[in-house]
Amino acid sequence: MRSIWNGAISFGLVSIPIKLVNATENHSISFRQIHLADGGRIRYRKVCELDEEEVSGGEIGKAYEDADGTMIPITDEDLAQLPLPTAKTIEIVAFVPADRIDPLQMDAAYYLSANGVPAAKPYTLLREALKRSNRVAVAKYALRGRERLGMLRVVDDVIAMHGLLWPDEIRAPQDAAPEGDITVRDAELDLADALMDTLGEVDMDSLHDDYREAVEELVAAKAAGETVLPAEPEDTGDGKVIDLIAALENSVRAARKSRNVEGAGDGDGGMADVHPIKKTSSKTSGKTARTTEAEQTTKAEQTTGTAKKTTHRTPTGKTVTRSGSSTAKKSAPKSTGAKKSTSTAKKSAGSAGSRTTAKKSTTKTATKTATKKRTSSSSSGTTAKKTAPSRKRTSA
């Protein structure tokens, strides 16, 4: 890279010879002025306004125009005699944290290259000192006929210098802010935050000048004699007042859709819906347990309450079989009452008491049935005794 200035860095009593190299380059496309009638190029000639004759570069000097229009000539010898210590020196005046420098002051950027082998050691010393201190150096230097302010920092293994504007060259932001007291709602801030999160970060190296590329394509197409079709204009809003909430919501949707399209194809399908498993409450479990136990108790009661079949031979020689089914049917309401009493007893004293009550009810029912049977047997025996003597008398 070609140097644009040679000098030295003044670091206390240490002098570091350096070369100043441009750190940036301009890629913008420049155009020439032409005559529309015939396409001829328009050129500017330097003409003296007094004799209206064209003058060459060697005949042109400098002058300062006074307020009344008077020209005061200034020669290069006059400027060289000025007591300017930074004419060939980058003089470091302070070391400050980087956040003390207002980005509004940033101007052109340069690389400082060590000029010669003797400059390598002090150059490396300054570079490492800047790295370890996490600070930047503020310096003064003279370039292109004026003294300037600069900031020195480390980029990779090179010391870079940013030209800075003087503090009095920064204009105050008067009348730039919106007038009046404007309130922003929390919902609007939340949507703005959501949009910022959705847009995320960007790789700075991936950014490029779309306009320059479009101009280059246009020039190439016209040079090849191709017809260039006008591009469809984009809807930029034309500065119209819009619904801020709706615009933010649409922006978030568009950004998410764009990110989803970029990330599509990673999977075979969409995400499955996940539903939480419902937990059975303790009350429902208790009801189910009590219902099951009551059913088992009822079955036991029905089994116990069923009377056994009995066989009885009458005096006439006939065999009669009697069943306790009718008795069981009659005692069915008592079983229902036993269920209710069982539920009540379980809540108060447990299931054991209810089973005891059911057994007592069954025992009473069985006792009544046996009593009826004995009464029936005794009456049958008496009838048989009375019938036997009458038969004897008849036969006689």
Cβ neighbours around 341 below 10 Å, total? 16
Position 279 scores a pLDDT of 43
3-state SS class at 153: strand
Q: 322 pairs with which residues across the strands? A: 310
- Complete DSSP assignment for 268-297: SS-PPP--PPPPPPHHHHHHHHHHHHHHHH
C-alpha to C-alpha distance for 42 and 34, rounded to whole angstroms: 5
If residue 88 lies in a helix (H) or strand (E), which one and from where to where?
none
3-state SS class at 104: helix
C-alpha to C-alpha distance for 345 and 290, rounded to whole angstroms: 12
CB-CB contact of 89 with 8 (8 Å): yes
Closest-CA residue to 294 (of 264, 234, 232, 336)? 336
- Complete DSSP assignment for 331-347: THHHHHHHHHHHHHHHH
3-state SS class at 105: helix
Q: Is residue 357 part of a domain?
A: yes
Position 197 scores a pLDDT of 86
Position 178 scores a pLDDT of 86
Here the CATH number for the domain that contains residue 150 is 2.40.290.10
Q: Is residue 331 part of a domain?
A: yes
C-alpha to C-alpha distance for 242 and 240, rounded to whole angstroms: 6
- Identity at 4, one-letter amino acid code: I
Which positions of the chain have pLDDT values less than 50? 265-289, 291-292, 294, 297, 299-312, 314-316, 318-321, 323-366, 369-373, 375-396
- Sign of the dihedral defined by the CA atoms of residues 321, 327, 332, 335, in that order: negative
Enclosing domain of residue 335: 323-385
Position 137 scores a pLDDT of 97
* Chosen domain end from 168, 200, 224: 168
Q: What is the pLDDT of residues 97-133, one digit of tens each?
A: 999 999 999 999 999 999 999 999 999 999 999 999 9
Q: Is residue 259 part of a domain?
A: no
Measured CA angle at 333 (ends 329, 338), to 5 deg = 120
Using left for φ > 0, alpha for ψ between -120 and 50, and beta otherwise, residue 183 falls in beta
C-alpha to C-alpha distance for 226 and 173, rounded to whole angstroms: 48
If residue 76 lies in a helix (H) or strand (E), which one and from where to where?
helix 76-80
Q: How many domains does the chain have?
A: 2
Residues ≥6 apart with Cβ < 8 Å to 362 = 301, 304, 305
Tell me which DSSP letter residue 12 carries: T
Q: Is residue 247 part of a domain?
A: no
Q: Is residue 265 part of a domain?
A: no
Q: What are phi and psi of 28, to 5 degrees?
A: -70, 150
Position 241 scores a pLDDT of 52
Q: Is residue 160 part of a domain?
A: yes
* Chosen domain end from 108, 138, 168: 168
Locate tokens 């350096």: which residue? 18
C-alpha to C-alpha distance for 316 and 49, rounded to whole angstroms: 166
Q: Is residue 84 part of a domain?
A: yes
C-alpha to C-alpha distance for 323 and 307, rounded to whole angstroms: 7
* Chosen domain end from 168, 192, 207: 168
C-alpha to C-alpha distance for 322 and 374, rounded to whole angstroms: 13
Q: Is residue 340 part of a domain?
A: yes
